[in-house]
Structures are given as C-alpha cells and as structure tokens.
C-alpha cells in the first residue's frame, strides 16, 4: 500500500483557484477503462471543470465531492475517510456534496458515472487517497513558501501545517497553494499511519437525516415547479391510443394534461391535485400485438425450457462419462419470482428546461447515463444537462437504469408541458411500474460418487436478461450469455470443482422490464447453489458444514468466512427446543459472506431468531459501515425470502402497495451479529454480498426443522 504514485505518468492533475476562493484539487485517471461504450475516460482529460474531488475553503472547511451517490450504503462517510487520512484533516471540518454529472467523475473501472456493483469503496480507494495526499503536498509547499523554510522540516496534523511552534491552518494556506505547481509525486501512507481507515466511524449524514433537513429528490421545491403524475400502460409494452382529459382538467389545481411516450401526464399545482386529476382521466391503450403475461403460464414455459439445451455458459469434461462411478443423481428444480426493489422513496425527478440547457434534480445511481438520455431527448449536448444528485431514499439498483427510464420520462413531461415539473410516482406506480428482478427457473442434475462428491453437474437457467436491449448489451453480453444471468453458477467453486460440468442459459424475451436488484444474479443463484449443496450433503448423509468445508478446501476466503460464522454461531452446539440452524456461504462482488440462521417453524410460520454473519471483504474501511450493510442485507433478503413476489395475471401486475407486496417489518427482524474476517486480501464490496446467503441459510434451517426442502421463493405459505 506504500505506493509511490507518479502522477506525471499515471494521472492528469490540476489545481485551480475557485471563483469563490479556496483550493480545488482535481484529477482524472486516464486508465479508467472504457466499459459500457457510453463514456470515454480519455475525454475527461480535455473537458473543463467542474471536476474537483476536494475543496478547501478559507474557513478551513474541507468539502469532499462524491463521484458516487449516497443511497444509505454510507459512502458519504467512507470516501471522506480516505481523503481525511491522507490530508491529516480535521474530521469536524469535513463537508460532503454530491458531484455533478461530468466525465471527471466516471467510475475508475467502469468508465461511466455509476453507483453500483458494490464497487464504490474499492474503486475509489486509490483515487480519493491520492486527492488527499496531493492536497497535503500542496499545502506543505504553500506553508514552506510563506515561512520561507524547506518543506522537509514541516509536518501536518489535524488541519494544520506545523513548523516547530508555528502553525497555519489549511484555510490560511489555500491562496498560496492555489498559485503553486502541482507536485509530480506523492507517497501514500502505510496502514500503520492510518487514523480513519479501518476504524469504526459514525456517519456524516446522520444529523440531517434525523431532523428532517436532508434533501431527497422528493423534497426538491422551487418557485414555478409543478407536480406531474403519469398514467402509464397497465400492460407493459403497450402505448396510449387516445385519452379524454375533460374531467381531469376540472379538478382544482390541475393545470394541463400532456401526452408523453409513456402515457398521459397530469400537470398540477401539487401532488393531491395531480393524483385526483390522473384518476379522472379516461384512457384507451393500444394493446395490439402485445402479450398479456401470466405468471402461471410463464412458469410452465420456463419449466419446459429448463429441460432443453440452451446457450452454453460453462463446460468441462463430459457429464455423460461418469456412469460407472455414479452412486446417485439429484435432480432439482428451483423457482424464483419477479421482485420489486420498492425503495422507501418513490421515484421522482424534477426537470427545468432553460434557454440553453436543462437542469435535473433527482436521486440517481447513474448520472452520465441519465444526462446522455436527457440530452438526446432535448437535442442538447450532455454538458448542457446539469444533474443535481439528491440523497437517494434507497436505490437497490432501481435508480441505475441503463434506459434512464424515470429521468427520460420526466424530461419528456417537462418538454411537453413547457413548464418546470417534478414527476412523482405513487407507491402503486412503483410496484406496478416495472424493472423487476427477473423471474428465474433453475434445473440442476447432479451426480455423486460413493463418497458423496459431485462427479457431474448439469445446470440450466431460464430467465430474462437484464442487459439485452440496453446500451450495455455490446459490452456485457458475450456469445449470447448475459454474465449477470449466470453469475454465482457458472463461476461457482462447486460447479468449477466438479470435473464434469455444464451450465446452460435460456434468455427469455418479454415486454416485462427487468433490472438488477440488490446482488443482481446472485440474488437467485446464491439461493439455488447453497440450497443444492445442502441437498447434496443430505443425500450424501454428511453434515452440511463439513460437506461444504470439503468441497471448498481450496477456497480459503470462502472457508474463512464459513468457519468464522460457524464458530461465532456455535455450530453443532445445542439450541433451545424447536430452534434449528442453517448455513450458507457465497461469494459476490469480490466479497465472501457466510451466514448461520437460527429458525423455528410454528404452524407453518417461519420465524428467524438470529443470523450470524461473517464477511471477508478485504480491508474494511469503515467496519461500522460494513456491519450496517450486513444488517441491511439480512433484512432486505429476509423480507424477499419470506414474502415478496411480483406476479402477473392477464397481463397486469397483481400487487400494488405494501399490503400485497410484503417486505420485512420490525416484528420479523432477527438479531443480527456481524463478524469481519481480518483480511489483507483484495477489497470487495459490502452493499450487496450480504444478500445472497440469507435465503439459503434460512431455507436450510427450515429443512433442518421440518424436513421440507424449500425450492421456491418466497416461502410464503408453503409450510402451512
């Protein structure tokens, strides 16, 4: 970690004085890979600011610009920790802002501005520390110049440059610093010098979020801003044929009704008027040539496909060659439903179109994609579209849409209305409005030898691709395989460790819009794989933890997490009467998470009492943040495992709000204990990897309790 960063070679750096005074430090890393074909990182070098990561004010304030969005995962605190350590900053002087949409802020690995894939901390670990180190070097030079002494004798501490008994605050140095040449080299600190990194650190956004002052997209208000609600097609893929708005326009507060590509938008003075206006619309939809999907029919179609060869995603050996050694074969079918993200904050987006551009206020996980989409609609250049990222009232993937759906729609509404508008989705709009975790059917046929070890593993997945048809298709679908459909299976250590294996995929086409949902493909594959392993252990008459240890013996990070969770959960020791354990371990987004769930089943109702989590994410920059994300993942995944499901009947989504799209509530929250593996391995993510092992750990405990194998989620009333 003691990297000597040669900026002249690796990075483009510049320091510029802000109009408002103060020091701005900005640089871009040219090696950022061109990822989704949307942005070219090389362009970042030639485009003008705003591209600052860090701003020091004359008042000593240190403003950290977040290239990513805060949606609960805690980067509002973690990224400033990276800067504070290198800068020797006074933590109490740190302020944080979301950066604008600009090429300078593109993801260091993905090349677009995105908050996703549990990647923020590892992808910014170098860039934000470099920003801090560079700024510190400039401040030292500035102090040396003011004092007319060599830099070598100076040190920094808690927001000051110190020379013996003299000291100057960073704020006192910014004017001089902004006139200096940027240093060519800086040395990053070694872990033993860190004061913030690795220490549990309280959130910087806490105070504003408990007194009502934090601004979410929903809270954007300004003079002249109107509220819009869009009546969207009840059957996906269909379009508005005609509408009668005569009754809607009579509702007090309704200003006008306009047609947009997604339907009809009611523009009103406030939400209540817009909602009533929308209810008064008479709408005729053109459904010709469109399917009316029905979950029961889809399931039959998926099940039939799962028994046919698909596109090959992985292969080794020959699954037909194992006849003689074969002892037994397990054939199992698993079914996972469509799921809605259902973030607490319903979608919304405020748009103001001006003479020479457009301003957008929203909570988004994908600024540059939204910016490009808005620019295209309005015939503008991307830099003419300003995006003001607000706090996100939950994201979970829903606000990272390659199709920029809710932003594009809001821009269309503002354009058609000729007014600044904020589109607001109702909860019903959110639940019925699409972009679901796709439904999946998995069918596995696994042959074991006499010792219970898998000899052959045939696995077929059926589900919609979340990438097909999006701008990311060219980069993310290879040889007909959307990697996000088969992740967790095609790359599973269990499958790869089986000499003869074959993974096939059927990517089903449909008008149902699908999207990544917290942990993406692992949200279904983690459940299937860790349930299957439990099934195999049972078939082989082996203890499930020991069975996993044997199969994962060459996977030390899986094992470390598994052993820590088992140890902390006292695996194998007696439990209170009626309580049973289940275990699971899964790798996703570069982290390894094992969970032990303690469960009882009473009159068909599953109660999860306690979940012990162990994670190896490499360095845990903010251990308290890691703990919070594990707690969060357990809650998010448990709600889905127990009761969440989006289904279709006669082409329409059945569910509409939290009474029938059920999520976890306080009464069902288990006690969650989190243990972090001490690790110096490569850093992984923490926002998502806690999700995949939860459902199988619970389902495996249900099997231990009842002997019933859960092969379909949600568990719902299957045990009744």
Partner 1 sequence: MKLNINGKETELNVSDDMPILWAIRDIAGLTGTKFGCGMAMCGACTVHLDGQAIRSCVTPVSAAVGKKITTIEAMQDDKVGQAVQAAWQQIDVVQCGYCQSGQIMSATSLLRQNPKPSDADIDAAMSGNICRCGTYQRIRVAIHQAAEKLA
Chain residues binding partner 1 by CB under 8 A are: 70-74, 202-203, 205-216, 218-219, 221, 227, 252, 269-272, 342-346, 391-396, 424, 426-428, 624, 628, 631-636, 657-659, 663-667, 669, 671-672
Cβ atoms of 613 and 634 closer than 8 Å: yes
409/393 Cα distance (integer angstroms): 19
Least gap, CB of 576 to partner 1 (angstroms): 16
Min. distance of Cβ 321 from partner 1 in angstroms? 47
Closest to 413 in 3D by CA, of 256, 576, 566: 256
Dmax over Cα atoms in the chain, in whole Å? Answer: 84
Are 383 and 47 in contact by the 8 Å Cβ rule? The answer is: yes
51 or 77: CB nearest partner 1: 77
Residue 260 CB contacts under 8 Å (≥ 6 apart), including other chains:
230, 409, 412, 413, 416
Under DSSP, the state recorded for 234 is S
Shortest Å, Cβ 236 to partner 1: 22
| Least spacing, CB of residue 622 vs partner 1, in Å | 10
**Is the Cβ of residue 76 or residue 125 nearer to partner 1 in the bound state?**
76
Beta-bridge mates of residue 213: none
Phi/psi at 423 (nearest 5 deg)?
Answer: -80, 135
Phi, psi dihedrals of residue 3, rounded to the nearest 5°:
-75, 135
Question: How many other CB atoms sit within 10 Å of the CB of residue 643?
Answer: 20
Distance between the two ends of the chain, CA-based, in angstroms?
Answer: 55
Measure Cα distances from 624 to 119, 299, 372 in Å. 17, 42, 36
Q: Which C-beta is closer to partner 1: that of 161 or that of 638?
A: 638
The answer to whether 253 touches 224, Cβ cutoff 8 Å, is no
Quote the least distance from Cβ 580 to partner 1, whole Å.
22
Q: Which among 199, 59, 175, 67 has a CA at the least distance from the CA of 130?
A: 67
Q: Contact 589/521 with Cβ under 8 angstroms?
A: no
Q: How far is the CB of 93 from partner 1 (least distance, A)?
A: 19
Contact (CB, 8 A) for 501 and 495: yes
Least spacing, CB of residue 316 vs partner 1, in Å: 39
Cβ-based nearer residue to partner 1, 74 or 117: 74
Residues paired with residue 314 on neighbouring β-strands, in sequence order: 503
User: Measured between alpha carbons, how far is 455 from 444 in angstroms, rounded to an integer?
Assistant: 13
Nearer to partner 1, 215 or 376 (CB): 215
Least gap, CB of 156 to partner 1 (angstroms): 28
Residue closer to partner 1 (CB basis): 165 or 213: 213
Q: How, if at all, do strands 421-424 and 348-354 pair? A: antiparallel
**Least separation, in Å, of the C-beta of 226 and partner 1?**
11
| Closest by CA position to 164, among listed 178, 150, 181 | 150
Q: How many residues does the chain have?
A: 720
Q: How far is the CB of 398 from partner 1 (least distance, A)?
A: 10
Strands (E), 130-214: 155-157, 160-163, 166-169, 185-187
How far is 349 from 385, CA to CA, in rounded Å? 14
The structure tokens listed for 288 are: 């010709």
* Cα–Cα distance for residue pair 494/498, rounded to 1 Å: 6
Closest separation in Å from C-beta 269 to partner 1? 8
Provide the minimum distance between the beta carbon of 389 and partner 1 in the complex, in angstroms, as a whole number: 14
Distance CA 520, CA 466 (A): 9
Q: By C-beta, is 218 or 369 nearer to partner 1?
A: 218
User: How far apart, in whole angstroms, are the C-alpha atoms of residue 594 and residue 564?
Assistant: 8
Least gap, CB of 485 to partner 1 (angstroms): 25
396 vs 457 by CB, closer to partner 1: 396
Shortest Å, Cβ 674 to partner 1: 10
Token pair for residue 149? 């002494």
Q: Which is nearer to partner 1, 331 or 344 (CB)?
A: 344
Beta carbon nearer to partner 1, 156 or 365: 365
Residue number, 514 or 691, with CB nearest to partner 1: 691
**Strand 671-676 vs strand 605-616: parallel, antiparallel, or unpaired?**
parallel
- Please, which residue, 74 or 100, has the CB nearer to partner 1? 74
Minimum CB separation of residue 636 from partner 1 in Å reads: 6
DSSP 8-state assignment for residue 183: P
CB of 211 or CB of 680, closer to partner 1:
211
Of 134, 61, 133, the residue nearest 97 (C-alpha): 61
6 phi, psi to nearest 5 deg: -95, 100
Taking the least distance from each CB to partner 1, the nearer of 322 and 431 is 431
For the CB of residue 283, give the shortest distance to partner 1 in the complex, in Å: 20
Nearer Cβ to partner 1 (464/633): 633
Continuous H helices in 58-119? 75-87
Rounded CA-CA distance 524/326 in Å is 28
11 versus 218: smaller Cβ distance to partner 1: 218
- Tell me whether residue 140 or residue 635 sits nearer to partner 1 (CB atom): 635
Show the DSSP H helices in 227-346 as ranges: 271-279, 295-305
Q: Of 262 and 340, which CB lies nearer to partner 1 in the complex structure?
A: 340
* Neighbour order of strands in the sheet with 328-336: 311-316, 500-507, 454-463, 440-448, 328-336
* Smallest gap from residue 568 Cβ to partner 1 (A): 16
Among candidates 434, 522, 444, which has minimal Cα distance to 484?
Answer: 522
Q: From residue 607, how far is each of 219, 400, 426, 635, 709 by CA, in Å?
A: 37, 33, 31, 13, 16
**Token pair belonging to 682:** 């490569």
Least Å distance between CB 168 and partner 1?
33
């Amino acid at each position: 970690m003691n990297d000597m960063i040669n900026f002249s070679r690796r990075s483009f750096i510049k320091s510029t004085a802000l109009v408002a005074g103060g020091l701005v430090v900005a640089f871009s890393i040219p090696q950022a890979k061109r990822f989704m074909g949307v942005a070219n990182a090389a362009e970042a070098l030639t485009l003008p600011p705003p591209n600052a990561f860090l701003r020091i004010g004359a008042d000593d304030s240190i403003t950290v610009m977040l290239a990513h969005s805060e949606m609960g995962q805690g980067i509002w605190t973690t990224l400033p920790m990276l800067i504070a350590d290198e800068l020797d900053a006074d933590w109490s002087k740190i302020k944080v802002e979301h950066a604008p949409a600009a090429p300078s802020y593109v993801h260091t690995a993905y090349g677009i501005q995105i908050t996703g894939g549990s990647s923020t901390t590892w992808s910014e670990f170098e860039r934000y520390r470099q920003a801090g180190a560079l700024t510190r070097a400039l401040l030292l030079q500035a102090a040396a110049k003011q004092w007319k002494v060599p830099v070598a004798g100076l040190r920094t501490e808690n927001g000051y440059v110190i020379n013996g008994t003299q000291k100057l605050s960073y704020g006192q140095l910014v004017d001089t610093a902004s006139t200096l040449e940027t240093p060519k080299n800086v040395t990053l600190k070694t872990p033993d010098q860190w004061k913030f990194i690795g220490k549990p650190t309280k959130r910087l956004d806490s105070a504003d979020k408990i007194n009502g002052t934090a601004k979410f997209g929903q809270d954007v208000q300004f003079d002249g801003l109107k509220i819009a609600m869009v009546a969207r097609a009840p059957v996906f893929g269909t379009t508005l044929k005609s509408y009668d708005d005569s009754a809607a326009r009579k509702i007090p507060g309704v200003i006008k009704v306009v047609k947009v590509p997604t339907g009809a938008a009611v523009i009103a003075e406030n939400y209540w008027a817009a909602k009533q206006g929308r209810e008064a619309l008479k709408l005729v939809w053109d459904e010709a040539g469109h399917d009316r999907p029905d979950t029961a029919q889809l399931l039959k179609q998926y099940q039939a496909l799962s028994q046919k060869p698909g596109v090959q995603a992985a292969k080794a050996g020959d699954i037909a060659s194992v006849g003689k050694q074969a002892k037994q074969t397990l054939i199992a079918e698993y079914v996972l439903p469509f799921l809605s993200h259902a973030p607490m904050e319903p979608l919304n987006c405020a748009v103001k179109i001006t003479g020479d551009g457009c301003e957008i206020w929203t909570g988004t996980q994908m600024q540059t994609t939204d910016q490009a989409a808005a620019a295209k609609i309005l015939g503008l250049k991307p830099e003419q579209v300003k995006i003001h990222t607000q706090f996100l009232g939950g994201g979970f993937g829903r606000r990272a849409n390659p199709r920029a759906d809710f932003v594009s729609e809001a821009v269309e509404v503002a354009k058609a209305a000729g007014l600044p508008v904020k589109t607001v989705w109702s909860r019903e709009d959110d639940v019925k409005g699409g972009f679901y975790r796709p439904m999946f059917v998995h069918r596995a046929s696994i042959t074991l030898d006499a010792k219970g070890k898998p000899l052959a593993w045939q696995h077929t997945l059926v589900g919609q691709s979340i990438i097909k048809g999006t701008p990311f298709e060219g980069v993310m679908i290879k040889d007909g395989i959307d990697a996000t459909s088969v992740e967790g299976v095609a790359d599973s250590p269990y499958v790869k460790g089986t000499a003869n294996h074959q993974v096939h995929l059927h990517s089903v086409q449909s008008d149902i819009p699908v999207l990544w949902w917290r942990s993406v493909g692992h949200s279904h594959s983690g459940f299937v794989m860790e349930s299957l392993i439990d099934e195999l252990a049972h078939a082989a008459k082996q203890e499930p933890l020991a069975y996993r240890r044997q199969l994962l013996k060459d996977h030390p990070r899986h094992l470390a997490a598994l052993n820590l969770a088992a140890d902390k959960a006292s695996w194998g020791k007696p439990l209170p009467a009626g309580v049973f354990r289940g275990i699971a371990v899964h790798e996703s987004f570069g982290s390894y998470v094992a969970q032990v769930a303690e469960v009882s089943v009473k009159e068909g109702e599953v109660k999860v009492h306690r979940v012990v989590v162990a994670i190896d994410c490499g360095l845990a920059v903010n251990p308290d943040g890691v703990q919070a994300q594990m707690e969060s993942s357990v809650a998010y995944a448990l709600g889905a495992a127990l009761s969440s499901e989006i289904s279709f009947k006669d082409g329409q989504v059945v569910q509409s709000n939290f009474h029938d799209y059920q999520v976890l509530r306080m009464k069902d929250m288990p006690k969650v204990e989190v243990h972090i593996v001490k690790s110096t391995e490569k850093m992984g993510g923490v926002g998502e990897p806690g999700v995949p092992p939860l459902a199988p750990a619970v389902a495996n405990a249900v099997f231990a309790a009842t002997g019933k194998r859960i092969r379909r989620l949600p568990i719902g009333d299957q045990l009744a």
